């Protein structure tokens, strides 16, 4: 069994209203050194180990987990504890 840790972020240039709201809130709490916030997604998926695992993860991300038009994704694969 493998644990896949997937990070999904908006592509550069895509507006991030949620990130702007968090940035505004941080400034209202006087965290004035924060200049930008980008909000993304993180998920962990437990999968069976198989030969073409990376191709299958890419397919999952492209078809469902991420929107490849506006989002990038990266992942790491490790032994499930």
pTM recorded for the entire structure: 0.87
At 76 the pLDDT is 98
Those residues whose C-beta lies under 8 Å from the C-beta of residue 49, and which sit 6 or more positions away, are 1, 2
Percent with pLDDT over 70 in the chain: 100
Q: Over 24-49, what HEC string results?
A: HHHHHCCCCCCCCCCCCEEEEEEECC
Q: Mean pLDDT per 10-residue run, the chain (81 residues)?
A: 97 96 98 96 96 96 97 96 77
- CATH tag, 2-79: 3.30.1280.10
- Express each pLDDT in 23-44 by its tens digit: 999 999 999 999 999 999 999 9
Distance of CA 8 to the CA centre of its chain: 2
Identify which of 21, 4, 3 has the alpha carbon closest to the alpha carbon of residue 58: 4
Give domain limits for the chain.
2-79
């Amino acid at each position: 069994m493998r644990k896949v840790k997937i990070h999904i972020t908006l592509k550069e240039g895509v507006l991030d209203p949620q990130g702007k709201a968090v940035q505004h809130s941080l400034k209202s709490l006087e965290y004035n050194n924060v200049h930008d916030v980008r909000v993304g997604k993180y998920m962990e998926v437990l999968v069976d180990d198989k030969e073409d695992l990376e191709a299958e993860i890419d397919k999952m991300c492209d078809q469902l987990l991420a929107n490849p038009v506006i989002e990038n994704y990266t992942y790491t694969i490790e032994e499930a504890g």
